[in-house]
Chain A
Amino acid sequence: MPDTPILLREREYHQIKAVLARLRMDSSARVVFLVDKDGQEIAVQGEIGNIDTTSLASLAAGNVAATGGMAQLIGEKEFPTLSHEGEKESIHISVIGRLLLVVVFDERSTLGLVKLRSKQISQQLSALMDEVTQAEFVAADSPFAEITDEDIDSLFK
């Protein structure tokens, strides 16, 4: 019994992208991602270049899950933010409910600015995703509602 699928419709997707674009600009970041705690990339905005966004999403979720596990071992609920500072590129991750806001930035920005701007938009992102997850999943809406065995078999030919 897997969880009910999350359906992200065009309207919400573009709203989320717009919020991420603003965050990216306000924080002078290179790339901004929204990822779900299971490692699924929801939306990305910025100079992606050669960044493997799928792997980064999965590793960010793994990172948050691992540090969350450590937090619980010392009696904390979770660590709400994580930062990794490199020589040129850095990553800041904020946990917003079941979402992770991942900001990749370089010397054009600072950790303080990224933290501040991330915090400022977290409520907005959270409200947007609530709309997405609370929308009732109607099986007929799923593109797979009428999928046939032949459709599935065709994927493996």
Chain B
Amino acid sequence: MTFINYASREINCKIVYYGPGLCGKTTNLQHIFEATAPQARGKLISLATETDRTLFFDFMPLELGTVRGFKTRFHLYTVPGQVFYDASRKLILKGVDGVVFVADSQEERMDANVESLYNLEENLRAQGYDLMKLPYVLQLNKRDLPNVLPVPDITAELMRKQEPVVEAVASTGAGVFDTLKAVAKQVLTELRKS
């Protein structure tokens, strides 16, 4: 839920990166963390297992700059992708303002993408949200790998509305900021409408 504090002149919004296990959600946040000036971001908190799989969530506050005298801060979260962490995913979606679905472009991961997207829609519904009305971006990650499906094949399966689709290689940073910009823009535009 967007939180506007007139006293500290800040606007805080929550963006959640969703997707199947190992699709690159944490890598997106890591790239944003490394590529952003330290004064514009807080710590990257990762609640991960010993093998670096996200256990609960990753979190990073990011200050984008000032609009109309208000600091705009985005709280970026990832969810754990593995199927059995569903209870955690539900909790992290609470109060969400925008969602990025990170799809793994590899052919053998298509089923996992579809399952995760279905899970996202279901968990949003459980929290009283509708994906069709929420600021939303579809990121096609890992475009540098040899076994990726063509973009139209993936979008035919995964696109839900006229959401922006961004091709990315999160490990090198390609497309990461384009994705963030696409979702942040929708979140801010939504504020104008509300």
Is B166 in the interface zone, CB < 8 Å from A? Answer: no
Interface residues on A, range: 35 or more
Q: Mark B98-111, 1 if CB is under 8 A from A, else 0.
A: 10000000000000
Residues of A within 8 A of B43 (CB): 52, 55
Is B167 in the interface zone, CB < 8 Å from A? Answer: no
The secondary structure that dominates the B interface is mixed
Q: Could you count the A-B residue pairs with CB atoms below 8 Å apart for me: how many are there?
A: 146
Q: Is the CB of B14 within 8 A of A38?
A: yes
- Tell me the bound Cα distance from A155 to B191 in angstroms: 15
Is B94 in the interface zone, CB < 8 Å from A? Answer: yes
Picked from A3, A13, A14, A143, the residue with its CB within 8 Å of the CB of B68 is A143
- Tell me the bound Cα distance from A146 to B188 in angstroms: 11
Given contacts A9-B7, A137-B194, contact A39 B14 (CB under 8 A): yes
Is B29 in the interface zone, CB < 8 Å from A? Answer: no
- Tell me the bound Cα distance from A143 to B77 in angstroms: 25
- Tell me the bound Cα distance from A9 to B130 in angstroms: 29
Residues of A within 8 A of B98 (CB): 2
Given contacts A52-B43, A55-B59, contact A155 B67 (CB under 8 A): yes
Picked from B3, B59, B134, the residue with its CB within 8 Å of the CB of A40 is B3
Interface residues on B, range: 35 or more
Is B190 in the interface zone, CB < 8 Å from A? Answer: yes
Q: Mark A135-157, 1 if CB is under 8 A from B, else 0.
A: 00101001111110001111110
B185 to chain A, nearest CB (A): 5
Q: Is the CB of A69 within 8 A of B6?
A: no
Which of A25-33, A57-65, A82-90, A102-110 is found at the contact surface with chain B?
A57-65
Q: Is the CB of B2 within 8 A of A2?
A: yes
A65's nearest neighbour on chain B, judged by CB, is B91
Given contacts A144-B67, A151-B67, contact A2 B61 (CB under 8 A): no
Q: Is the CB of B191 within 8 A of A147?
A: yes
Q: Is the CB of A5 within 8 A of B191?
A: yes
Q: Is the CB of B6 within 8 A of A9?
A: yes
Given contacts A7-B6, A13-B6, A139-B193, contact A2 B67 (CB under 8 A): no
